[in-house]
Amino acid sequence: MPRRAIRPWIAGAAATALALAPLAANPALARGRAPSAAKPAAYTFGVAMPMTGSQASYGADQVQALMWAVQFINSHGGVDGVPLKPIVEDTQADPQLGINDVNKLISLYHVPAFITAWSSVVAAVAPIANRHHVLELSIGANDPSIAHLGPYVWTTYPLANVDITALAKYVYTNLHDRTAAVLYIDNATGIYGAQVFRNVFQQMGGKVVAFEAYPQNTTSYTAQLLKVKAANPQVLHIQGLVQDTLAVIAQARELGITSQITSYSAADNPQLLKQDGAAANGLIVTALAPSQGPQLRHYLALWQSRAHRLPNGLPYTEYLYDAPFILKAQILWLIQHHLAYTGPNLLKAMQANPRVVTPLTGLTVFNPNHTVDKPVYLLKAVHGQFVQIAKLPG
Amino acid sequence: MIAQLVVSGLAMAGPYVLFSIAFSLVLKTTGVWNFSQGGVMSLSVYAVYFALNALGWPPVLAVAAGLFVAVAVSLAIERFGFEVLRRRNVGSLMLFVFSLVLSAFASDLLTLIFGTGSVTIYPSILSPVHLVDGVAVTNANIESAVWSAALAAAVLAGLKWLPAGQALVAVSKNRELAELYGLSRRRAYLTAAAVSGVLVAVGMYLLALGVEVDPSIGSDLLVVAVAATIIGSIGNVTGTVIGAVLIALLQNFSVLVLPSVWQTAVVYGVLFAVIIFLPRGLLASAR
């Protein structure tokens, strides 16, 4: 709700609440009604993300995006005059550290909500969120099991089945490819995504002629690629992390594999195009947020002016930028319904107010199972740059 | 497909051989399971990366920078680390722990300086390809195989025919007796450290021609060197070379008969079998 519309009502509520201050001890109030009209000094929330460690290049940029969004909101009046205050803890994308961080956020800072990412961390801290009735917003993790982690766990980022399903359908329907090979890293990210691609492609009527895994931290993919080459697929889908996808593409082309290569959002990385050179030409990847358009112009300019570069994992940072706006919308809903800023009340807000307009990724609609669907953007590498070739419904 | 697997396996084996000789040589000479070599490997490849990309040096000078860093750090670790600890009668377990700590420190230091992301030493990792009877051979494959073979042969020949190499072998066989004959144990240790520095620096450069590297890559690769040392038989440098080639070929060929998810498990399976049934390694009798 617009701030201007709320303000007169808040003033009235404030006067009433002041007059009824002795009733603050009322058990009904204690159950969640706003105990007094006195505004908090800030709406505090936790942010548990990798700021150091192997994933820091992504995590730090995502937190940077979030901080700019908070800065924007606070400089434009905060949430009904109250600033948002994020407390950042470093998970290093490690589940055990994530547990320590979230315990600290809840017991020391008493946050009613926190934001986190990386599937293993999201899953590890979910029981804590549920036990302490604290809202956990997962932003960027895409493991489908996130939909089943409990009442307090919600994701603002589409889960893995959304973009890979759309990609497999596009390959079959639009590119008219009928045979595919799938090469994937042997971990949770790779296995699930590879299975989704295979199953959807086969359901469409296509044939998966090779389905090969490679171990983490390997440096040669030749053996697997030779099996792919022998199967002669029309399309090769790679489900890996950015660093191995880079090497797989280079080695595939060196071995003379000329198939169309596809991958998912992890490969949406300008560095990959630079380092793979001509080998990456024609590569099709998915993105779950737009990489162009008027709404992004200001955001990208912000990165260029303050960091002198584009962010690592642009789409992920867009979702982190949008996160404080989702939180703001739910806090405004609480204010409108005279509810205190607590975890259980935020849960009510998420259920009652599932449609939130966010500045970068557009309308966010939460499904009853706490997930979201978003459009899937397909990007194609053309002469060292990704160009959007399709926007598919999520 | 078989020919391609052989070519790729041998190219992959090149750096493995150099890392394995480096690890085995130091173990054979000093008796230390020196895991700090993982850190040295990372430091050397980042020195090349820095020289090429930040300083704009030509490749020859950049490789020289990588060699210098690897040799200097290896010597410093031996002289100011292991030597000091030995003087204090520290046991082999503590030397091993010390080497682990050094490796982790080097990795963290690189993370602080260069960040956690992966880098490639050259702007592109694509290498020109030649088709020989339908077998794709890249320039990187050729460089890797030729340089590794040449360097490995030089080290093995040096151990046999050069006075410094012979002294090193003598010290490794019986340190006290070698000293009675006037051979310096300390010099032998330093020689082993310097040679291992050269080997890992060249190995890392050859490897980095085709893949991205990150600060922890050395520690990851050192596992292969340790496995090759055990498979080939501890203390037998020639056996280590065979162990390294075996691992590379095994990794490549296993996918022909097994699902590719077993690729890593196969290597550890062989290692497990060697430890159980041939605890002194495949070439124990050749020692």
User: What tens digit of pLDDT does each residue of B93-130 get?
Assistant: 999 999 999 999 999 899 888 876 678 898 877 777 88
Q: H/E element holding A379?
A: strand A376-382
Q: Are residues A344 and A249 in the same domain?
A: no
Q: Are residues A168 and A73 in the same domain?
A: no
Confidence at residue A4, expressed as pLDDT on a 0 to 100 scale:
43
For residue B224, is it within any domain? Answer: no
Q: Are residues A188 and A327 in the same domain?
A: no
Confidence at residue B116, expressed as pLDDT on a 0 to 100 scale:
65
For residue B10, is it within any domain? Answer: yes
Alpha helix locations (H) across chain B?
Answer: 2-30, 36-53, 59-77, 83-87, 92-114, 139-161, 163-173, 175-180, 185-208, 217-232, 237-257, 263-277
Number of domains in chain B: 1
Q: Are residues A384 and A265 in the same domain?
A: yes
Structure tokens at B67: 């060699």
Q: Does B207 touch chain A (CB under 8 A)?
A: yes
Q: What is the CB-side half-sphere exposure of residue A261 using CA atoms within 13 A?
A: 28
Q: Does A255 touch chain B (CB under 8 A)?
A: yes
Q: Which residue has the tokens 């042997």?
A: A186
Q: Does A232 touch chain B (CB under 8 A)?
A: no
Confidence at residue B284, expressed as pLDDT on a 0 to 100 scale:
64
Q: Are residues A217 and A272 in the same domain?
A: yes
Binary contact (B116, A53; C-beta < 8 A): yes
Residue to test with chain A: of B263, B264, B268, most A Cβ within 10 A: B263
Among the partner residues B131, B136, B220, nearest to A217 by beta-carbon distance: B220
Among the partner residues A54, A219, A246, nearest to B116 by beta-carbon distance: A54
CATH assignment of the domain containing A240: 3.40.50.2300
**Listed residue (B243, B227, B200, B183) closest to B77, CA to CA:** B200
**Listed residue (B215, B38, B44) closest to B115, CA to CA:** B215
Q: Are residues A154 and A173 in the same domain?
A: no
Q: Are residues A133 and A79 in the same domain?
A: yes
For residue A15, is it within any domain? Answer: no
For residue A3, is it within any domain? Answer: no
For residue B231, is it within any domain? Answer: no
Q: Express each pLDDT in A174-197 by its tens digit.
A: 999 999 999 998 876 788 889 999
Q: What is the mean pLDDT of residues B242-261?
A: 85
Q: Does A57 touch chain B (CB under 8 A)?
A: yes
The residue with greater pLDDT, A17 or A185, is A185
Among the partner residues B5, B118, B255, nearest to A243 by beta-carbon distance: B118
- Give the residue from chain A lying closest to B212, CA to CA: A243
For residue B27, is it within any domain? Answer: yes
Task: Find the domain containing A336 and state its range.
Answer: 39-158+295-360
Q: Cα–Cα distance between B215 and B211 in angstroms, integer?
A: 13
Q: Report strand pairing: A113-116 vs A135-138.
A: parallel
The three-class DSSP label of residue A181 is: strand
Q: Are residues A356 and A383 in the same domain?
A: no
For residue B92, is it within any domain? Answer: yes
Q: Report strand pairing: A153-155 vs A207-214.
A: unpaired
Binary contact (A56, B136; C-beta < 8 A): no
For residue A279, is it within any domain? Answer: yes
Binary contact (B255, A255; C-beta < 8 A): no
Residue A14 pLDDT exceeds 60: no
Q: What is the CB-side half-sphere exposure of residue A147 using CA atoms within 13 A?
A: 16
CA–chain centroid gap for A26, Å, is: 40
Q: Would you say the C-alpha torsion A310, A313, A315, A319 has a positive or negative sign?
A: negative
Q: Does A307 touch chain B (CB under 8 A)?
A: no
For residue A63, is it within any domain? Answer: yes
Q: Are residues A103 and A204 in the same domain?
A: no
Give the predicted TM-score (pTM) of the model. 0.71
Binary contact (A254, B136; C-beta < 8 A): yes
Mean pLDDT of all residues in chain A? 87
Number of domains in chain A: 2
Q: At what angle do helices B217-232 and B36-53 cross, to 10 degrees?
A: 130
Residue A32 pLDDT exceeds 60: no
Q: Does B174 touch chain A (CB under 8 A)?
A: no
Does ipTM come in above 0.90?
A: no
For residue A29, is it within any domain? Answer: no
Q: Does A256 touch chain B (CB under 8 A)?
A: yes
- Give the residue from chain B lying closest to A273, CA to CA: B124
CA dihedral A87, A93, A94, A98 (to 10 degrees): 20
For residue A31, is it within any domain? Answer: no
Q: Binning pLDDT at 50, 70 and 90, where does residue A16 land?
A: very low
DSSP structure class, residue A325: H
Task: Find the domain containing B90 and state its range.
Answer: 2-215
CA distance A347 to chain B (A): 36
At a CB cut-off of 8 Å and minimum separation 6, what does A253 contact?
A278, A279, B126
For residue A183, is it within any domain? Answer: yes
For residue A13, is it within any domain? Answer: no
Residue A115 pLDDT exceeds 80: yes
Confidence at residue B49, expressed as pLDDT on a 0 to 100 scale:
96
Structure tokens at A212: 């090969």
For residue B285, is it within any domain? Answer: no
Q: Are residues A72 and A200 in the same domain?
A: no
Residue A33 pLDDT exceeds 70: no
The count of residues in chain A is 394
Q: Does B254 touch chain A (CB under 8 A)?
A: yes
